Amino acid sequence: MLHINRLKRTFNNNQAGFQNINFSVDKGEIIGILGTSGCGKSTLLRVLSGLDPNYEGKISSKDGNDNIGMMFQEPRLLPWLSVKDNISFGLEKEERKSNKYQTYLDLVGLSGFDQHYPKDLSGGMAQRTAIARALITEPEVLLLDEPFSALDAFTKMQLQDLLLSIWQKKQTTMLLVTHDIDEALYLCDRIFILKGQPGEVFAEVAVEKPKPRTRGDAYLSKQKAHILNLLNVEKKAAGDEQ
């Protein structure tokens, strides 16, 4: 449903960004994009979300629907709006006044917090609100840019489970940028490993295990070793060049 063809966006005389990215995403898939920092993975999401229009190549979605949801590393809630109004932010004017937000408030486990302001929320709760805001417009594709990297380990696991349970209910297609190998293995169906500057897809790892998975499962550990190995190759290659 989402096809990306020879996508390229570089900065600083082709020293940063990414190039030659080709992949397609099927409906309901969770795709992970893994890579060390500086390989252009966040830039890729900015291009896909439309925040960065200066790219080359082609992005096409089957339905021609450009309804995209995005979650950032920070919650990016509007501090002057209550949780309720933050969740409803992306809706049209009439819908904002309805109580459509209630479904999503319950979905992310924040029932009863609708009148609170962001300043009164913990990091995890703020990120839950951001999830609800991203989902309420029922996006075709949900783009997640390291959404849990600023959270503590426990909150992170809770929110990963929350994301999975939402996926089970709504079958939302997701594109998850992360630098956490365990997170990618726990959530994703396929993982693209980006390497280089500018970054290119270096390898694709399929995680053929039905979700929900068990953390620390033997198969996932094996895949993790495989991915680490792939990333190590990069290190060696860099060492050889010097």
Which positions lie near another protein, rule CB under 8 A?
Answer: 49-51, 68-70, 72, 74, 76, 78-81, 89-90, 109, 117-120, 122, 124-125, 137, 155, 158
Q: Whole-number minimum distance, CB 71 to another protein, in Å?
A: 10
Q: Whole-number minimum distance, CB 122 to another protein, in Å?
A: 6
Q: Whole-number minimum distance, CB 113 to another protein, in Å?
A: 8
Quick check: 89 and 133 in contact, CB under 8 A? yes
**Sign of the dihedral defined by the CA atoms of residues 192, 41, 184, 69, in that order:** negative
Q: Whole-number minimum distance, CB 84 to another protein, in Å?
A: 13
> Nearer to another protein by C-beta: 108 or 205?
108
> Nearer to another protein by C-beta: 120 or 204?
120
Quick check: 179 and 34 in contact, CB under 8 A? yes
Count of Cβ atoms closer than 10 Å to residue 179 Cβ = 15
Q: Whole-number minimum distance, CB 154 to another protein, in Å?
A: 9
Closest CA to 177 of 70, 32, 28: 32
Chain position carrying tokens 């990414």? 18
